[in-house]
């Protein structure tokens, strides 16, 4: 017997135009509302239970099963409640719900399989009694192709409007155009097929446009949130978000009675990296360390967040994690950074971390109390040789190195001639760099005493490099007045294979009588004399008695900018120029550290000789 005999009494007429348009409008509104509510529920299922995977998967499965139930139920309503064309809307709503959830984000293969089972159930229901028709085979093959395409290329279809419409309309065409003559309460005619397919088309277009628009808004909101909440260099959470989060975590821990732990992290010898390689390399190291920490944290379950709380300082906050669990994670982070070489430009840099860990105590009044203990533990890690973890007052993995209080090394910095094209090097100045282990930094003292022989040995190496034949060296007042000093310097000059010009520099506070009695002894053998460490903010009157005996003076750029921000247009600075010009003294502006300093000197002072880190950054050794 023909399966259609049971439904022979049903009418075959399509929907009248007003009813058809009304159902189109209803399906449009249904699709819009369903997309909005379903996406909210799906996001809640993924976000609220992100740290509880069992609950997350359970809720996701329940959401999918409810949607499948709704889709199947709508088909049943169209079949059992309404007659023929009046049930078109419910069939399309059901098909829409069942196919819409196929593109849920982050689903596993078995979750997708549950959704495919829901589609297959309704698909088979519509072909019940007609499985021997070739149209069923073609429809089934088309469905498999469409469902397979949605799985394998889901990320390229989901938010691309035309791809989305194309993929879903392929399924819709396979469904509607290949239905048997009598299908789930419908007597299928060409007019019925056209009306059914048009309704599905409206919902597909609404879905594609809505998802594409919402995705663009989500991406823009994510970018804005990233800019507001994350450090732009390292992509760790920012210090401002850190203050907000830890306040919330502290209140939550007190109210719910769970653990709260913080790890304060400092990159060891980071200032050395900046001094030795430059700030661009330092930035690359910061980025690399943050990425390594974040990658290691992602391997561990639980609630933990990485924050950049200072220049080379980071913090990891652990919520509801025991101290043993934190110790394991922090040790893994420490080991990862220690083993990881970081590519920074043309260099490969290795570094280590010092870490201090502290957990919440019942008597703590704020998170600052917790962090203060973590910071104290961090200091203990540094004190015990760095590259260590301290939890409470116990330092793990300590490799104590007993350093002297400071290390000194000689460096040189160029003095440039700004009046010649290309700004060539006029001379090299011998400077002292002093590394202070307690503060992990290099200092450059302006007042120091270095034995003359030590300076001459360094100058010999400097001359051998071929970078200069003019060198400035520092003398203390005692060294300057020593009658043997000019002879020692002359002997050095005569012993060099190439011509050498030396200038001795003494502090501007040198005794006037000592300067007057000894300067000529240097100048007579071709060695110039210079005064250094001058401050433009101080009176010129104290300097004038010394000027007849010297060939050069040095002024600090910062003092000139502070005292004479308008440069040579300032009448008082003209007094300096009027005093120096008749004596033909060389004026060197030193301490030019950045582009603002350089612009000020070039545009407002027009001096000949310039010196500073902006032009020449001496290479410093890295110390372990």
Domains detected in the chain: 3-226 (no CATH), 239-396 (3.30.70.270), 406-610 (3.20.20.450)
CA-closest candidate to residue 84, choices 22, 14, 18, 24? 14
Q: Supply φ then ψ for residue 543, to 5 degrees.
A: -85, -30
**What's the pLDDT at 133?**
92
The two three-digit tokens of residue 123, written as one number:
């698909």
Q: How would you label 352-384 residue by residue, b for 16+ Cβ within 10 Å and e otherwise?
A: bbbbbbbbbeeebeebeebbebbbebbebbbeb
272 with 439: CB under 8 angstroms?
Answer: no
Q: What secondary structure letter does DSSP report for 313?
A: E
In whole angstroms, give the CA distance from residue 19 to residue 247.
59
Measured distance CA(163)–CA(529) in Å, rounded: 80
Q: Give the residue carrying structure tokens 């993924």.
A: 46
Cα atoms in the 13 Å half-sphere on the side-chain side of 386: 17
SS3 32: helix
At 3 the pLDDT is 41
Both tokens of 312, joined, read 């080379």
CB 471 within 8 A of CB 428: yes
Q: Please give the Cα distance from 336 to 502 (Å, whole number).
A: 51
Cα(76)–Cα(155) distance, rounded to whole angstroms?
A: 32
- Residue ranges in 84-230 assigned as alpha helix (H): 88-100, 109-126, 134-152, 154-157, 161-176, 190-229
Q: Is the dihedral of CA 276, 277, 283, 288 positive or negative?
A: negative
Radius of gyration of the chain (CA): 40
Q: DSSP assignment of 401-432, as one string? A: ----SEEEEEEEEEEEETTSTT--EEEEEEEE
**Cα 97 to Cα 33, 93, 168, distances in angstroms:** 12, 6, 12
Q: Using H for helix, E for strand and C for coil, what is the string for 446-473?
A: CCCCCCHHHHHHHHHHHHHCCCCCEEEE
Check if the beta carbon of residue 82 is closer than 8 Å to that of residue 90. yes
Return the DSSP state at 102: G
pLDDT digits (tens, 9 = 90+) for 181-228: 988 888 888 988 998 898 899 989 988 998 888 888 888 877 666 666
CA distance 374 to 391: 8
- Report, as ranges of residue numbers, the positions in the chain whose pLDDT lies below 70: 1-13, 49-51, 82-85, 223-229, 398-407, 435-441, 620-624
Active site residues: 312
Question: Are residues 356 and 375 in contact, defined by beta-carbon separation less than 8 angstroms?
Answer: yes
Cβ-count burial of 260 within 10 angstroms (0-12 exposed, 13-18 middle, 19+ buried)? buried
Distance, in Å, from the CA atom of 425 to the CA atom of 418, rounded to the nearest integer, reads 9
329: CB partners within 8 A, 6+ apart: 296, 297, 300, 302, 304, 316, 318, 321
User: Please, which residues have CB within 8 angstroms of residue 50's CB and are 6 or more apart in sequence?
Assistant: 56
Assign residue 35 a region (left: φ > 0; alpha: ψ between -120 and 50; beta: otherwise).
alpha
Number of Cα atoms under 13 Å in the Cβ half of residue 449: 5
- Number of continuous H segments (helices) and E segments (strands) in the chain: 20, 19
CA distance linking residue 211 with residue 395, whole number of Å = 53
What is the Cα–Cα distance from 60 to 38, expressed in whole angstroms? 11
| Orientation of helix 452-464 relative to helix 484-495, angle to 10° | 20
- The count of C-alpha atoms lying within 13 angstroms of the C-alpha of 483, restricted to the half-sphere facing its C-beta, is 1
Closest CA to 204 of 269, 157, 236, 244: 157
In the numeric block, which tokens belong to residue 320? 């509801």
Q: Chain centroid to CA 80: how far?
A: 59
Contact 354, 301 (CB under 8 A): no
Contact 179, 193 (CB under 8 A): yes
Identify the DSSP state of 302: S
The rounded distance, in Å, linking the Cα atoms of 241 and 309 is 10
Nearest to 423 by CA among 436, 414, 433: 414
Element (H, E) at 508: none
What pLDDT does residue 12 have? Answer: 54
Of 439, 308, 441, the closest CA to residue 382 belongs to 439
Residue 171 and residue 264: Cα distance in Å, rounded? 55
pLDDT at 404: 45
């Amino acid at each position: 017997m023909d399966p259609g005999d049971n439904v022979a009494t049903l009418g075959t007429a399509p929907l009248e135009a007003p009813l058809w348009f009304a159902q189109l409008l209803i399906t449009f509104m249904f699709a819009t509302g369903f997309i909005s509510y379903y996406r909210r529920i799906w996001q809640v299922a993924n976000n609220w239970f992100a740290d509880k995977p069992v609950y997350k998967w359970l809720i996701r499965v329940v959401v999918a099963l409810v949607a499948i139930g709704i889709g199947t139920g709508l088909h049943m309503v169209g079949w059992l409640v309404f007659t023929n064309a009046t049930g078109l809307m419910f069939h399309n709503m059901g098909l829409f719900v069942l196919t819409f959830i196929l593109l849920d984000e982050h689903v596993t293969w078995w979750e997708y399989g549950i959704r495919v089972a829901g589609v297959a159930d309704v698909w088979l229901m519509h072909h019940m009694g007609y499985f021997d028709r070739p149209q069923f085979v073609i429809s089934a093959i088309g469905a498999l192709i469409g469902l397979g395409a949605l799985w394998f290329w889901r990320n390229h279809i989901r938010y691309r409007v035309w791809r989305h419409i194309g993929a879903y309309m392929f399924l819709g065409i396979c469904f509607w155009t290949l239905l048997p003559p009598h299908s789930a309460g419908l007597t299928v005619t060409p007019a019925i097929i056209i009306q059914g397919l048009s309704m599905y088309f409206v919902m597909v277009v609404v879905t594609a446009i809505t998802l594409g628009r919402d995705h663009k808004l989500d991406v823009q909101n994510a970018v804005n949130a990233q800019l507001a909440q994350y450090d732009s260099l390292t992509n760790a959470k920012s210090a401002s978000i850190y203050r907000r989060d830890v306040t919330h975590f502290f209140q939550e821990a007190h109210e719910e009675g769970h653990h709260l732990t913080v790890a304060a992290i400092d990159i060891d010898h980071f200032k050395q990296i900046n001094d030795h390689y430059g700030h661009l390399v330092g930035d690359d190291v910061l980025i690399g360390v943050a990425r390594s920490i974040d990658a290691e944290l992602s391997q561990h379950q639980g609630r933990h967040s990485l924050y950049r709380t200072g220049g080379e300082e980071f913090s990891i906050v652990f919520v509801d994690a025991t101290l043993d669990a934190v110790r394991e994670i922090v040790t893994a982070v420490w080991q990862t950074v220690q083993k990881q070489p970081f590519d920074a430009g043309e260099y490969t840099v290795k570094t280590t971390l010092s870490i201090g860990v502290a957990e919440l105590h019942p008597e703590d009044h704020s998170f600052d109390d917790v962090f203060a203990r973590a910071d104290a533990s961090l200091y203990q890690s540094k004190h015990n040789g760095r590259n260590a973890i301290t939890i409470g007052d116990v330092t793990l993995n300590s490799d104590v190195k007993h350093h002297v209080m400071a290390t000194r090394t000689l460096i040189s910095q160029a003095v440039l001639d700004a009046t010649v094209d290309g700004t060539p090097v006029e001379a090299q100045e011998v400077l002292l760099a002093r590394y202070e282990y307690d503060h992990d930094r290099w200092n450059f003292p302006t007042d120091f005493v270095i034995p003359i022989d030590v300076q001459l040995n360094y100058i010999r190496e400097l001359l051998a490099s071929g970078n200069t034949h003019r060198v400035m060296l520092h003398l203390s007042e005692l060294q300057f007045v020593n009658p043997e000093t000019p002879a020692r310097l002359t002997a050095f000059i005569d012993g060099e294979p190439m011509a050498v010009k030396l200038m001795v520099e003494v502090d501007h506070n040198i005794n006037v009588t000592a300067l007057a009695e000894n300067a000529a002894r240097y100048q007579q053998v071709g060695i110039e004399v210079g005064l250094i460490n001058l401050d433009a903010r101080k009176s010129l009157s104290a300097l004038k008695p010394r000027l007849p005996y010297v060939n050069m003076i040095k002024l600090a750029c910062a003092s000139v900018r502070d005292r004479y921000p308008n440069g040579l247009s300032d009448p008082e600075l003209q007094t300096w120029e009027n005093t120096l010009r008749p004596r033909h003294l060389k004026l060197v502006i030193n301490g030019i550290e950045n582009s603002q300093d350089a612009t000020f000197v070039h545009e407002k002072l027009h001096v000949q000789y310039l010196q500073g880190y902006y032009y020449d950054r001496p290479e410093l050794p890295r110390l372990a």
